[in-house]
Amino acid sequence: MKASKKTPAKAPLSEKASAAAKALEKLGLRRDIDLALHLPLRYEDETRIVKLAEVRDNSHPVQIEATVTHQEVTYRPRRQLIVTVDDGTDTCTLRFFSFYGSQQKALAVGNKVRVRGEVKGGFLGRTMLHPSFKAAGGDLPTALTPVYPTVAGLPQAYLRKAVLSGLVRADLSDTFAPGDLDIIRHENGRQPLWTLRDALQFLHHPTPDVSLDTLMDHTHPAWQRLKAEELLAQQLSQLQSRRERAALKAPQLKAVEGGTLHARLLAALPFGLTNAQQRVGAEIAKDMARRIPMHRLLQGDVGAGKTVVAALAAAICMDAGWQCALMAPTEILAEQHFRKLLGWLEPLGITTAWLTGTQKAKERRAMLALIESGEAQLVVGTHAIIQDKVKFKNLALAIIDEQHRFGVAQRLALRNKLHHEDMEPHLLMMTATPIPRTLAMSYYADLDVSTLDELPPGRTPIVTKVVNDARRDEVIERIRAQISQGRQVYWVCPLIEESEALDLTNATQTHADLAEALQGATRADGQPVLIGLLHSRMHVDDKKAVMGAFTAGLMSVLVSTTVIEVGVDVPNASLMVIEHAERFGLSQLHQLRGRVGRGAAASACVLLYSTGDAPRLGEAARERLKAMAETNDGFEIARRDLEIRGPGEFLGARQSGEAMLRFADLQTDTELLEWAKAEAPMLLDTYPHLAAKHVARWLGGRAEYLKA
């Protein structure tokens, strides 16, 4: 007796449901409201049937009903299912390169089917490639069909059902102040907002007569309701964070009168403070003298003098008998701060500790002992400062440079280093990436922002030139001329090794090419030219040696990756060449350019670009390079950067990688943002239960991200 063939067992429904639940979790769809707010990427119009004779070739997807007149599987040039259908006005060929037996059966000759796809014209007649299809007949839907963002293992049909069920179950009751829906300005005056339920119902299943443009560009009134809700949630969360912090305690760090460290540091500085530095210093001193923890962002353009402001704040802290910590994202930047602060403070009797992840064990143990005993009044380092083994005696001021380069958890860890009577340290965050006004109003609304809007005297304007890579030889001659005058040059490359994906010249090859091109060149003092190489994979001691030689003026050219982006200060460097500048972000280009122009010599930045095989640069790259050539103003650069990239990328790690605004656009929704900023305190004070419900609905646990 023959053994019967066993058909493979189907996966139990519970397994399928579990896989779908995991896929939903991956999309962050945990609650009914999350499903309700998971909006379509686009829509398909399945509300009408069109005749093939009326369809323009290469048009948007259309839906037809037709009878299958022919079916075959061919094997040349590759295996494919070819089906011909006829709707009475014309014929069309359906092609499938991957297919199952069940699909062949559904598309058997004589069957009437409803088919949707893009119709392409050609020599062999009209064709649809991999269209969707089902048996003809049945009622047509009355709304557009949503197509949702999804992940592997989560088909659209399942996701549509899940979203619909979430929409039915979610609590979509109003959380705005009663009667406060009249906020959108139109040409004919103000128009009330839609209710949240009506807006979501419409956006998930819009009627076919709606303008698709208003749906896709988010200008439809239903979208306005969602954006107003989202901006209000953000403003409420920021306001709550600010008020919660106002209830916390911090050490009162009052400046001491007469003969203090602060006064001695001011007297010892080899330069005078700008008006902006004096103003900002006073703002910080006033904050630190209060019992409420300072939570201030110090922003200033490249070279505006943020480090000296931070040093003066540290002096007030140490004057009061407390410790201060300064954390920087890279060892090069941390070391620059360390050397500068050591030069200012060591002669005044201040002990400074140095902490990085690459320290030898013996040195590290010594530094940890100094910190724990309180003998080290100032601690400078990288993220090594926040490790569990680091115990401060009495940390009262935490300074974080380039704060956007740190994650939320890292910033919170530094704030938690004060173990003293339930207090937390004052926090001063610094950034050389100026914050545009709309970002300051939204993502940074919980912070007090101080701005250094004045450069120290003596800084020379930097001339920026955008140059095609074909003129590389001219750039090298410019370098030779700078070296012969005793100047130094940076050459920055985006990669350190060859990549098949990106045909970019690497730093190692560029170093070799420049060494060959400048062979025999001499400096102003007749000494031969030294060319250094610096990249992130070098051993830390080698990095220090190269950077030390360049800083000391022994090395004329430094070929580097972006490890020199911030903090490097060599006044004698007068030329910056950025290789493949089209690959860099606008903020990064501005930071790199800021490495020159720090002395009295005229300085220049050359943006070398390459189009590769393309006839010309892409639009975004062209806009970035144009902005760099047109302005040196960091605030204008930041504004254009926000326009080009949007807030998500601009903000970096502030929200720990999770976008806090999914629907609102800070470029176009300024009026809604202004409304939300004014509405938040009124709602929180008058209707606190509605405010709490609103934040929970929109942010869930993500509101914590805004507190760091």
pLDDT score for 331: 81
243-265: b or e for each residue (b if 16 or more CB lie within 10 Å)? eebeeeebbebebeeeebbbeeb
Nearest to 250 by CA among 458, 375, 397: 397
Q: What CA–CA distance (Å, rounded) separates 73 from 96?
A: 10
Tens digit of pLDDT for each residue in 418-465? 766 678 899 998 887 777 777 777 777 777 889 888 877 767 788 999
Q: What CA–CA distance (Å, rounded) separates 264 from 349?
A: 11
The answer, as to whether pTM is greater than 0.75, is: no
Q: What CA–CA distance (Å, rounded) separates 88 from 70?
A: 15
Residues of the chain predicted below pLDDT 50? 1-11, 13, 185-189, 500-503, 652-659, 703-708
Cis peptide before 77 (omega within 30 of 0): yes
Q: What CA–CA distance (Å, rounded) separates 211 from 636?
A: 35
Q: What CA–CA distance (Å, rounded) separates 231 from 442?
A: 8
pLDDT score for 642: 75
The DSSP result for 43-93, as a single string, is EE--S----GGGPPTT-S-EEEEEEEEEEEEE-SSS-EEEEEEE-SS-EEE
- Phi, psi (deg, nearest 5) at residue 402: 50, 55
Domains and their CATH numbers in the chain: 48-135 (2.40.50.140), 261-452 (3.40.50.300), 462-631 (3.40.50.300)
Q: Contact, 579 vs 493, CB < 8 A?
A: yes
Residue 230 is encoded by which pair of tokens? 């989202």
Q: Contact, 151 vs 23, CB < 8 A?
A: yes
Which residues, at least 6 apart from 568, have a Cβ–Cβ distance to it below 8 Å? 332, 333, 336, 547, 595
pLDDT score for 330: 80
Beta bridge partners of 86: 67, 91
What burial class does residue 197 get, using C-beta atoms within 10 Å of its C-beta: 0-12 exposed, 13-18 middle, 19+ buried?
Answer: middle
